[in-house]
Amino acid sequence: MKQIIEKINKLKENLNKWGHAYYVLDKPLVDDSEYDKSLNELIKLESQYPQLITLDSPTQKVGGVVMDKFEKYKHKQPMLSLANAFNEEDLENFNDQILKEIENKKYNFFVEPKIDGLSISLIYKNGNLFKGVTRGDGIYGEDVTSNVKTIKSIPLSISDKSEYVEIRGEVFLSKNEFEKLNKQRLLNDEEIFANPRNAAAGTLRQLDSSIASSRKLDAFLYYFMDREKFHTHSDSLKYLETMNFKVNSLGKICNNIKEVYEHIQTILLQREKLEYEIDGVVVKINDFDLYEKVGYTAKSPKWAIAFKFPAETKQTKLKNIFSTVGRTGRITYNASLEPVQIAGTTVQAATLHNADFIIQRDIRIGGEVKVKKAGDIIPEVISPIQDENYFSLKKWKEEKKCPQCHSILERVEGEVDQYCINSQCPRKIVRGLEHFVSRDAMNIEGLSIKIIEKLYDNKFVSTVSDIYKLNKFRQQLIELDKMGEKSVKNLLESIEISKANSLEKLFFGLGIRHVGKKTAKTLALSFKNIDKISTITFEELEQINDVGPIVAKSVCDWFTIKQNRELIKELNELKINMQYLGNEGTKNNDKITLKSFVITGTLSKPRNYFKDLLEEYGAKVIDTVSKKTDFLLAGNEAGSKLEKAQKLGINILSEEQFLEMIGE
Contact 129, 157 (CB under 8 A): yes
pLDDT at 349: 87
The answer on pLDDT for 375 being more than 50 is no
218 is known to lie in a ligand binding site: no
Start-to-end CA span in the chain (Å): 42
565 is known to lie in a ligand binding site: no
pLDDT at 62: 45
pLDDT at 65: 44
What percentage of the chain exceeds 90 in pLDDT?
Answer: 39
479 is known to lie in a ligand binding site: no
The per-residue pLDDT for range 476-522, each reduced to its tens digit, is: 888 886 678 888 998 999 999 999 999 999 999 999 988 888 788 88
73 is known to lie in a ligand binding site: no
Superfamily of domain 503-573 in CATH is: 5' to 3' exonuclease, C-terminal subdomain (1.10.150.20)
Least confident range from 46-55, 153-162, 258-267, 574-583: namely: 46-55
User: What DSSP string runs through 12-72?
Assistant: HHHHHHHHHHHHTSS---S-HHHHHHHHHHHHHHHHH-GGG--TT-GGG--S----TTS-E
Least confident range from 406-410, 418-422, 634-638: namely: 634-638
pLDDT at 260: 96
Q: How far is CA 590 from each of CA 80, 593, 599, 617, rounded to the nearest angstrom?
A: 30, 6, 19, 9
Instruction: For residue 592, give the 3-state DSSP assignment.
Output: coil
Q: Where in the chain is the domain with CATH 2.40.50.140?
A: 312-422
32 is known to lie in a ligand binding site: yes
Distance from C-alpha of 421 to C-alpha of 406, rounded to nearest angstrom: 11
The per-residue pLDDT for range 73-83, each reduced to its tens digit, is: 899 988 888 98
The answer on pLDDT for 26 being more than 60 is no
Compute the residue count for the chain. 664
Contact 171, 120 (CB under 8 A): yes
Contact 160, 124 (CB under 8 A): yes
The answer on pLDDT for 584 being more than 50 is no
23 is known to lie in a ligand binding site: no
Q: Which CATH number fits domain 312-422: 2.60.40.10, 1.10.10.10, 3.40.50.300, 2.40.50.140?
A: 2.40.50.140
Cα angle 151, 157, 158; round to 5: 115
Least confident range from 342-346, 523-527, 554-558: namely: 342-346
The answer on pLDDT for 154 being more than 70 is yes
Q: Where in the chain is the domain with CATH 1.10.150.20?
A: 426-498, 503-573
Could you tell me the pLDDT band of residue 122, with boundaries at 50, 70 and 90? very high
Parallel, antiparallel, or unpaired for β 140-142 and 72-74?
Answer: antiparallel
pLDDT at 587: 64
Distance from C-alpha of 619 to C-alpha of 593, rounded to nearest angstrom: 5
170 is known to lie in a ligand binding site: yes
402 is known to lie in a ligand binding site: yes
Mean pLDDT of 208-235: 88
The answer on pLDDT for 298 being more than 80 is no
Among 1-10, 278-287, 405-414, top mean pLDDT goes to 278-287
Count helices and strands in the chain by DSSP H and E runs: 25, 22
The answer on pLDDT for 615 being more than 80 is no
pLDDT at 425: 93
**How many other CB atoms sit within 10 Å of the CB of residue 287?**
22
The answer on pLDDT for 105 being more than 90 is no
Distance from C-alpha of 209 to C-alpha of 143, rounded to nearest angstrom: 13
Q: Where in the chain is the domain with CATH 3.40.50.10190?
A: 596-661
Mean pLDDT of 645-664: 87
596-661: which CATH topology? Rossmann fold (3.40.50)
User: 132 or 615: which carries more pLDDT confidence?
Assistant: 132
Enclosing H/E stretch for 522 = helix 517-527
Could you tell me the pLDDT band of residue 585, with boundaries at 50, 70 and 90? very low
556 is known to lie in a ligand binding site: no
The per-residue pLDDT for range 533-570, each reduced to its tens digit, is: 989 888 888 877 667 788 889 999 999 999 999 999 99
User: What DSSP string runs through 88-145?
Assistant: HHHHHHHHHHHHHHSTT----EEEEEEESSEEEEEEEETTEEEEEEE-TTSSEEEB-H
Name residue 633's beta-bridge partners.
Answer: 599, 653
Asked if the 1-61 domain carries CATH number 3.40.710.10, the reply is no
What pTM does this model have? 0.50
User: 576 or 624: which carries more pLDDT confidence?
Assistant: 576
Put residue 124 in one of left, alpha, beta given phi > 0 → left and psi -120 to 50 → alpha.
beta
| CA proximity to 379, closest of 433, 323, 337, 439 | 337
CATH class of 426-498: mainly alpha
Q: Where in the chain is the domain with CATH 3.30.470.30?
A: 72-308
* Mean per-residue pLDDT of the chain: 86
The per-residue pLDDT for range 230-283, each reduced to its tens digit, is: 999 999 999 999 998 999 999 999 999 999 999 999 999 898 889 898 989 999
Among 119-128, 349-358, 543-552, top mean pLDDT goes to 119-128
**What residues act catalytically?**
114
User: 217 or 69: which carries more pLDDT confidence?
Assistant: 217
Contact 450, 457 (CB under 8 A): no
- Determine whether 388 is exposed, middle or buried from the number of CB atoms within 10 Å of its CB (0-12, 13-18, 19+): exposed
Contact 144, 70 (CB under 8 A): yes
User: 352 or 50: which carries more pLDDT confidence?
Assistant: 352
Mean pLDDT of 591-597: 83
284 is known to lie in a ligand binding site: yes
Contact 563, 423 (CB under 8 A): yes
Among 152-166, 186-200, 365-379, top mean pLDDT goes to 152-166
Distance from C-alpha of 112 to C-alpha of 175, rounded to nearest angstrom: 19
| CA proximity to 40, closest of 54, 59, 18 | 59
Rg of the chain taking only CA atoms, in angstroms: 26
Distance from C-alpha of 290 to C-alpha of 69, rounded to nearest angstrom: 39
Asked if the 72-308 domain carries CATH number 3.30.470.30, the reply is yes
